[in-house]
Amino acid sequence: MNEIRDFCGNLIVIGCKCVYPMRRGSKMWMTTIKVDGIQGLGAATVLTGYDNTGRRTRTKNIQNCVVIS
């Protein structure tokens, strides 16, 4: 099985918390996701979970994610 790793090389598993950049228009900020699903492998990997406001979210840009404690 292929392992999904973040920007720093840490393993991304279900239940971990990741932080990643968001952008809308000219505004940029960092947001968190508590991972509850990993879909696909390789370049088509998608992380699904809930952000810090409780909203269901997903991210496709795994190379910009960083696992936090």
Joined together, the tokens standing for residue 32 give: 């968190």
Model's pTM, two decimal places? 0.82
How do residues 34-66 score in pLDDT, each as one tens digit?
Answer: 999 999 877 789 999 999 899 999 999 888 999
Interacting residues of 1 by C-beta distance below 8 A, sequence separation 6+: none
How do residues 5-32 score in pLDDT, each as one tens digit?
Answer: 999 999 999 999 999 999 999 999 999 9
What whole-number distance in Å separates Cα of residue 43 and Cα of residue 10? 17
Given a cut of 70, whether residue 1 has pLDDT beyond it is: no
Interacting residues of 3 by C-beta distance below 8 A, sequence separation 6+: 11
* Residue 46, φ and ψ in degrees, nearest 5: -130, 130
